[in-house]
Structure 1
Amino acid sequence: MGAASRRAAPAPAWRSSCLALCLLPVALPLLLLCLPLLCVVVAFARFRRRRRRLLVTAAKSRSCCPGERSLHEAEGHRAALLHKYLEDQMELVAGDAVAVDPTPSSQRSHPHQKQQ
Structure 2
Amino acid sequence: MGCGGGVGRPPSVGALAAAAVAVWLVPVVLTLAVLWMPLLCCVVAAVRFNRARSRRRLRGCCDGKDGSGGLGRRWTEAVDAGYRKRLLDQYLEDQIKVVGVAEEGEEDPY
TM-score for both structures, normalised by structure 1: 0.47
Q: Hey, which of these two has a bigger chunk of helix by percent?
A: 1
Indicate the structure whose relative CO is greater, using CA pairs within 8 Å and at least 6 residues apart. Answer: 2
Larger Rg: 1
